[in-house]
Structure 1
Amino acid sequence: MSQTNQLAEQSKGLIFANSRQYGAMLPADQQEQSQVNGWLSAAYAALLKDKNLANAAMSAPESLMNALNEAAQLGLRPGTTQYYLTPRKNKGRWEVLGVTGYQGEVELMYRSGAVASVVVEAVHQGDTFRWSPGAMNQPEHAPNWFGDRGPLVGAYAYAIMNDGSVSKVVIVDQERIQAAKDASAGSDSPYSPWRKHPRAMYLKTAAHDLAKWVPTSAVDKSVQQIKATVGEKNTNAQVDAVTKGNTRAAIAEREDPEPQEVLEDAYVEAIAADDVDPGTGEISVDQAASTSQKAEVRKRMKALSIASDEESANQAVRDQLNNPGHKGVDGLTRGEADEVLAELAVIAAG
């Protein structure tokens, strides 16, 4: 049995031993035993595939329980894109931190029972986009799905309520995006989601802003429940209003959330070294380069016959960074390591 599986098996008891407690905390419409088992299994699956998360759960079992308690109260499935379970290092000790995901926030809007649909879209430079507050109740957006849409320029979000009205329309322009980046330490880091998944971050910013204006709830209000409350004729009219707009599958049936991704080794190393901003979870380019980054620099230099020993590798770093006083490979920051690796990639390609 692998180390990951051993850790996960040990932590399995922490999850399933408290199944009755979690089941009681879940919203009433999620308390059927089959649903509770699926909820618990999602958390277990996340630990099973991620040794760092499993290790954090065993190091601080109370932190895992706290995260699962919060997920249960919200009615979100842990270990998925609705609610992430992440390993963090706090004062030298590994622990589990629960984070509500973008999909979880949208799900809570639906569950309020006041929302018929939630629309969150990214806008590219090549799209046709019109929005005039006061003169329009929702934006007109016509993407060129099969052409070059150009770079991202913004995002927007709104909800269509059960009475057919439209919530406040949230517009995320470049000024708002820049403000979100400025508030996020390390947003220029190559490990930052702003660099790796910019579209998702545009959508996340829009969804976060919309959540301030739209009711949310952990209790699920299905279409059937809404019909029983406001009448089938009225609900069908709402559906028609949505489908006739350009909301593009705004009321599509919500599928089970996808499992969360396993953290990259470089990110885990940064957590262990306390190089991750606790508020944003991002790695700063000014932090020391990870062990894997420095090893990769040495490996590529040797493969390209640029450096055969440590001293020649250090000198090559000084030359590439144009910094005679640099300490060399061991003195690299994350940003510098990425710069050196990028230049080595160019040399290899040339």
Structure 2
Amino acid sequence: MALTTLKERVQQRAAAVASGEDIRHDRAEEETPAGNGHDIEQYRADIEAALPKHVSVDQFLAALRPALPKLRKCTPASVLQSVITCARFGLVPDGQQAVITADDKIATFIATYEGYIELMWRSGLVKSVIAQLVYEGDEYEFVPTARAGEEFVHRPNILASKKDRKPLFAYAFAWLDGGARSNIAIITLEEAEEIRNEHSKAYQRAEANGEKNSLWHTRFDRMHLKTAVRRLAKLVPKSAELRALVAVEEAAEHGRPQVIAAIDPEVAALEADARRAHRAAEASQDVPAARLPVKQRGRAKRRRRHRDKNKKR
């Protein structure tokens, strides 16, 4: 199957979505052994065509094969589309840059915080990114009103065991092209838990079915860091590819095929911006009307006194 054929099919599905048809993965699709290495080998040419030149198909497939047994119960279509999506971003599914995980029989591509940093760096607009967790016992100081570059200090206690200490917050900042430094993105532990509970469909499903096998269950610290890095992505210059990555992960959360967004990053980014603007417009209608200004009685009395004095004169 050529990549062009896949792209044409995906574009047809995207057109169906645009026309109002609800396109979702069919979880009742017949299960096939998607974890078989021979099954993924037949798409080697498609994967190689999707990958950027700096990532070899052998490197990509070597990282992918250990994850395939966990995807046996996933629909074959979702396995293929998650693999192609990962390849389109040039991220290796080795657990460091990206993972492909099973979510309710749907294979899903998820970038790690290192994957986000890789795309920031690849844009040429960001020179380096620092992302860390601050634990109990660390020294830190945050003074937002201080001069840029001096408002935040973190001195980790590198000799203390992290197993016995609770993370307090995650932070991330970037050094930009030209020497400037971005603002600092900070996510407290409480905020990370709220984001997980309210916005992660995978976490909610894993809690409901009792398996507790989502990335928020198995890699909480890394997901905490990723949340900080995703907030940082809003504070630095963004490439179309980085914006498309956000759109791809949002698609997974809402049950839409990820590969649609990955095929054309610029279009996906524009569509994601349009959806966010639409949600913001709807939310603004729920804001209560502002109160009318109240007359100040004290001033009115002073005016009357002033008029009384004039009459006496």
| TM-score under structure 1 length normalisation | 0.50
Letter in 1 for 2:192: I
Cα distance, 1:11–1:198 mapped onto 2, change above 3 Å: closer
Q: Looking at CA atoms only, which structure, 1 or 2, has the larger radius of gyration?
A: 2
What is the aligned counterpart of 1:133 among 137, 144, 147?
A: 144
- 1:102 Cα offset (Å): 2.4
Residue 40 of structure 1 corresponds to 61
Write out per-residue CA displacement over residues 247-288 of structure 1, whole angstroms, 9 at most, x where no aligned residue.
Answer: xxxxxxxxxxxxxxxxxxxxxxxxxxxxxxx849xxxxxxxx
- 1:69 Cα offset (Å): 1.4
Letter in 2 for 1:100: A
Q: Does 1:145 align with 2:158?
A: yes
Q: Determine if contact 2:172/2:185 at 8 Å carries over to the other structure.
A: yes
Q: Does 1:53 align with 2:71?
A: yes
CA distance in 1, matches of 2:148, 2:215: 32
Q: CA RMSD in A?
A: 3.3
Letter in 2 for 1:28: K
Q: Determine if contact 1:158/1:166 at 8 Å carries over to the other structure.
A: yes
- 1:217 Cα offset (Å): 6.8
Q: Where does 1:8-87 land on structure 2 (aligned, <5 Å)? A: 11-30=36-55, 35-47=56-68, 50=69, 52-56=70-74, 60-87=75-102
CA distance in 2, matches of 1:196, 1:45: 17
Q: Determine if contact 2:167/2:189 at 8 Å carries over to the other structure.
A: no
Helix, strand or coil for the counterpart of 2:148? coil
Residue 181 of structure 2 corresponds to 166
Write out per-residue CA displacement over residues 46-84 of structure 1, whole angstroms, 9 at most, x where no aligned residue.
Answer: 22xx3x41343xxx3221211111111111113533221
Range that drifts further, 103-112 or 185-194: 185-194
What is the aligned counterpart of 1:114 among 117, 125, 143?
A: 125
Helix, strand or coil for the counterpart of 2:54? helix
Letter in 2 for 1:203: L
- 1:216 Cα offset (Å): 4.8
Q: Does 1:101 align with 2:119?
A: no
Helix, strand or coil for the counterpart of 1:85? strand
Cα distance, 1:109–1:131 mapped onto 2, change above 3 Å: same
Aligned length: 203
CA distance in 1, matches of 2:67, 2:216: 24
Q: Where does 1:217-256 land on structure 2 (aligned, <5 Å)? A: none
Residue 207 of structure 1 corresponds to 229
- 1:197 Cα offset (Å): 4.3
Residue 12 of structure 2 corresponds to none
Range that drifts further, 68-77 or 121-130: 121-130
Write out per-residue CA displacement over residues 218-242 of structure 1, whole angstroms, 9 at most, x where no aligned residue.
Answer: 69xxxxxxxxxxxxxxxxxxxxxxx
Q: Which runs of 5+ in 2 are unaligned?
A: 1-31, 243-251, 255-313
- 1:14 Cα offset (Å): 3.3
Helix, strand or coil for the counterpart of 1:29? coil
Letter in 1 for 2:81: N
Helix, strand or coil for the counterpart of 2:131? strand
Residue 310 of structure 2 corresponds to none
- 1:114 Cα offset (Å): 1.7
Helix, strand or coil for the counterpart of 2:115? helix
| TM-score under structure 2 length normalisation | 0.55
- 1:193 Cα offset (Å): 5.3
Letter in 1 for 2:130: V
